[in-house]
């Protein structure tokens, strides 16, 4: 569905104001051939209208020959910025980078933020951006959940489908995604609405049973047949089930990388304007699937790298799996019960 330029412009204004963009600050807009033209043009207009200076850093496409998927999250770490000192210098000299390309999990992203530059990723289609434009209430909800997760030393996830897994916590920082960047050196993703962290290295233990209707990326589809993942010492050690298990085994095997099987970020969705059913309404090549990652009450876990938070796993294979109907407990206290936020259950 077409989005009016003015609507997306106004959404950018809201995001930039929530991100405390001030007159005279410098904004770099990072683009590549996959950048949505309307997202770019309205970002430039909104940034200029708030009195900031704008530099567009347009980089060539990379990774096409290495990745099996057209989804940019399917092959991470190495980007068009890798080794490009001129572009990195421009981004580091900026107060704010609008990433309309997708730098996720790249060391260059860390380098840019260390100097205080903020980075906001925005690659979902305009229809999704305007529906899920972030608010202060989103930030409040995410920070409240993060306060619970920050103190926890273990997360246990269970489900009627057979999931029963324990993740010892405490070694890694949190990911608090609420969709705008209001602090120096912060990274965020518009749209968002979830919290996550990474389990301590080599400690996650148990079983995750992906049920019909759970979602996996980069396929961006609903799982059709249950998959049983055995987790030992932080790694998936066996993948059992029918057709979808075969898909997963085959795809992960193509990376020929033992670190692809590590448990990566784990957390839960908080965004009430994101919905489980939306993924089925979009052309899968048009969306990253943020509704799936953020819908309230999901349990989102992933496989692959943890270098984003200082770990040593830099696998290029990254698979996000939002699950329904799970119960998530922190140190024995439930925060999600059978796929519903406990705060909602208590209202």
Question: How do 319-323 and 118-121 pair as beta strands?
Answer: unpaired
Least gap, CB of 167 to Fe ion (angstroms):
15
Q: Which is nearer to Fe ion, 27 or 319 (CB)?
A: 319
Between 121 and 329, CB nearer to Fe ion:
121
Which of 53/69 has CB closer to Fe ion?
Answer: 69
Q: Which of 158, 271, 302, 327 binds Fe ion (CB under 5 A)?
A: 302
Q: Which is nearer to Fe ion, 108 or 320 (CB)?
A: 320
* Distance in Å, CB of 177 to Fe ion, minimum: 10
Cα 175 from Cα 190, distance rounded (Å): 14
Q: What separation in angstroms does the CA of 168 have from each of 1, 135, 203? A: 44, 32, 6
d(CA 126, CA 255): 32
- With CB under 5 A, what is the number of residues at the site for Fe ion? 2
Site for Fe ion in 190-249 (CB under 5 A): none
Stretch that binds Fe ion, among 27-35, 249-257, 269-277, 301-309 (CB under 5 A): 301-309
Q: Whole-number minimum distance, CB 262 to Fe ion, in Å?
A: 13
**Taking CB under 5 A as the rule, does residue 320 contact Fe ion?**
yes
Shortest Å, Cβ 54 to Fe ion: 29
Integer angstrom CA distances of residue 322 from 162, 218, 245, 304: 16, 12, 16, 15
**71 touches Fe ion by CB under 5 A:** no
Nearer to Fe ion, 95 or 320 (CB): 320
* Least distance CB 290 / Fe ion (angstroms): 11
With CB under 5 A as the contact rule, which of the stretches 18-26, 80-88, 220-228, 300-308 interacts with Fe ion? Answer: 300-308
Q: How far is the CB of 86 from Fe ion (least distance, A)?
A: 29
Nearer to Fe ion, 104 or 209 (CB): 104
Identify whether the C-beta of residue 305 lies closer than 8 Å to the C-beta of residue 314.
yes
**CB-based contact 207:163 (threshold 8 Å):** yes
Of 80-88, 111-119, 207-215, 312-320: span binding Fe ion (CB under 5 A): 312-320
Q: Based on the number of CB atoms within 10 Å of its own CB, is 248 exposed (0-12), middle (13-18) or buried (19 or more)? A: buried
Per DSSP bridges, beta strands 194-197 and 205-210 are: unpaired
Query: Rounded to the nearest whole angstrom, what is the least distance from the CB of residue 196 to Fe ion in the complex?
Result: 8
Q: Is 21 helix (H, G, I), strand (E, B) or coil?
A: coil
Residue 210 phi, psi dihedral angles, 5° rounding: -80, 125
The answer to the question of residue 307 lying near Fe ion (CB under 5 A) is no
**How far, in Å, CA of 286 to CA of 83, rounded?**
29
The interface region with Fe ion, picked from 90-98, 180-188, 297-305, 308-316 by CB under 5 A, is: 297-305
Residue closer to Fe ion (CB basis): 271 or 302: 302
**Measured from the CB atom, is 41 or 312 closer to Fe ion?**
312
**Distance in Å, CB of 250 to Fe ion, minimum:** 21
Closest distance between Fe ion and the C-beta of residue 320, in Å? 4
- 78 DSSP assignment: -
Question: What distance in Å separates the CA atoms of residue 265 and residue 243, rounded to the nearest whole number?
Answer: 25
Helices (H), the chain: 5-18, 37-49, 85-92, 107-114, 126-131, 136-151, 243-253, 290-294, 342-345
Residue closer to Fe ion (CB basis): 32 or 320:
320
Output the CA–CA distances (angstroms, integers) from residue 278 to 78, 288, 298, in the order listed: 30, 12, 14
Least CB distance from residue 189 to Fe ion, whole Å?
10
Give the whole-angstrom CA distance, residue 224 versus residue 235.
Answer: 24
Interface segment toward Fe ion; rule CB under 5 A; list 48-56, 105-113, 162-170, 299-307: 299-307
Nearer to Fe ion, 35 or 302 (CB): 302
Pairing of strands 175-177, 96-99: unpaired
Footprint on this chain of Fe ion (rule: CB under 5 A):
302, 320
């Amino acid at each position: 569905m077409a989005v009016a330029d003015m609507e997306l412009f106004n959404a950018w204004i809201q995001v930039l104001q929530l991100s405390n963009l001030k007159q005279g600050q410098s904004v770099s807009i990072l683009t590549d051939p996959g950048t949505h033209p309307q997202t770019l043009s309205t970002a430039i207009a909104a940034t200029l209208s708030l009195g900031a200076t704008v530099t567009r850093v347009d980089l060539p496409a990379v990774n096409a020959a290495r990745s099996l998927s057209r989804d940019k999250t399917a092959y991470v770490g190495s980007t068009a910025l890798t080794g490009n000192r001129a572009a990195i210098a421009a981004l580091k000299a900026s107060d704010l980078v609008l990433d309309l390309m997708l730098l996720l999990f790249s060391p260059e992203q860390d380098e840019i933020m260390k100097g205080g530059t903020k980075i906001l990723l925005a690659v979902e289609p305009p229809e999704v951006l305007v529906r899920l434009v972030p608010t202060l209430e989103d930030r409040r909800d995410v920070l409240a959940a993060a306060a619970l997760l920050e103190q926890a030393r273990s997360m246990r996830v269970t489900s009627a489908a057979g999931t029963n897994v324990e993740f010892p916590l405490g070694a890694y920082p949190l990911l608090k995604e609420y969709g705008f960047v209001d602090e120096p050196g912060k990274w965020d993703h518009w749209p968002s609405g979830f919290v996550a962290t990474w389990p301590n290295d080599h400690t996650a233990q148990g079983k995750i049973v992906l049920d019909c209707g759970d979602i996996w990326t980069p396929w961006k589809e609903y799982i059709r047949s249950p998959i049983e993942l055995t987790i030992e010492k932080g790694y998936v050690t066996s993948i059992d089930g029918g057709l979808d298990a075969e898909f997963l085994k085959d795809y992960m095997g193509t990376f020929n990388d033992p670190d692809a099987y590590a448990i990566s970020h784990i957390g839960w969705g908080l965004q009430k304007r994101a919905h489980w059913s939306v993924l089925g309404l979009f052309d899968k090549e048009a969306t990253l699937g943020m509704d799936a990652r953020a819908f309230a009450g999901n349990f989102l876990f992933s496989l692959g790298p943890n270098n984003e938070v200082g770990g040593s796993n830099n696998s290029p294979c990254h698979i996000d799996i939002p699950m329904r109907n799970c119960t998530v407990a922190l140190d024995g206290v439930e925060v999600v019960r059978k796929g519903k936020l406990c705060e909602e259950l208590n209202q």
